Structure 1
């Protein structure tokens, strides 16, 4: 297993829809193991294949809730059903999220309160998870990556303007930027 470089906003693979996983091979299993190691080293609660430069429809997640229940898994070729989002503005205290591909920043974003994730695991077995709260947010965030959407693409003003300024100031928004968890000093 290895920690992989995480691509930063501007890398084309992050802004393009990912291709379905045709077959679960040893290469896919190795990629998933590396993604878990990378996510844990970052540290993060989710990581999509495009974030490590691989344009495939899969993501990993790992989060422990307030009841000390750990939710950890891989979603291959997922579909996601989401409850409608509120029309109220996002609450910066309870609805802020960050992204390993826009490291060190957090912005509020309204997400659906609940979601149903349907996917395949590494054994090729289909499964379904009904999630609410933070786990539903994780699923929505990672699923967006598979469609070439970063959370900063969804945030409202004035936060979107702030994110654009940060991207320009840091030289992101162009191909070739990445960071390596455990090596680069970035807070994600």
Structure 2
């Protein structure tokens, strides 16, 4: 089932998400499937639970669309539960990022090239793994969501001021997207 994506301005996107336990979410695989369906329907490569209104430490990624740039990303599809980034190293490099919760805005964001992360998959198996390049970037972007951060938080104050009207329009629902969204400041009855 495709879930509505929460738009910029909703408090759930700025809240640090909480860990979850297997007994709290016995149907986690169903939620994961819904999140992948939602992400694919919106043509995204990552989606975090806060973006569908759930303040839990869960995100999904499928970096396959970037396999032309990095062939090792073909079929790179993962689920991250209760993730913790243990280290971020390497050179910071810019990449033009976007976000399903902030449609039609793309900005260059600097992130470190390598990371080590601890997480559980949808079968509650623990992993500790190293990622680099675009895989690391997608993970960092989605990880920021469960930490209550958005890519726009990484922009300079000047850059944020320049896109402020667009951000306010997104929050109010004054935007056209081809996927379901919930807008925190939309006028009722529209």
* Same fold by TM-score greater than 0.5: yes
Q: Which residue of 1 aligns with 2:186?
A: none
Q: With the length of structure 2 as denominator, give the TM-score of the two structures.
A: 0.82
Residue 156 and residue 129 in structure 1: after superposition, are their counterparts in 2 closer, same or farther (change >3 A)?
same
Q: Aligned residues, how many? A: 174
Structure 1 residue 14 corresponds to structure 2 residue 19: no
- 2:107 and 2:8 map into 1 onto residues whose CA distance is 15
Change (3 A) 1:180 1:52: farther
In structure 2, stretches of 5+ residues that fail to align are 182-190
Counterpart position of 1:43: 43
Deviations 1:77-125 (A, max 9, x none): 0011211664xxx65xxx1100111011100110011112221011110
RMSD of Structure 2 on Structure 1 (CA): 2.4
For normalisation by structure 1, the TM-score amounts to: 0.83
* Separation in 2, partners of 1:10, 1:127: 33
Higher relative contact order (CA 8 A, sep 6+): 1
Q: Normalized per residue, which structure has more strand?
A: 2
Secondary structure of the residue that 1:32 maps to in structure 2? helix
Q: Structure 1: which 5+ runs fail to align?
A: none
Q: Deviations over 1:139-187 (max 9, x none)?
A: 110000001111101112442222222112x151x7x999985467xxx
* Counterpart contact for 1:48–1:60, Cα < 8 Å: yes
Distance 1:178 1:37, change over 3 A: farther
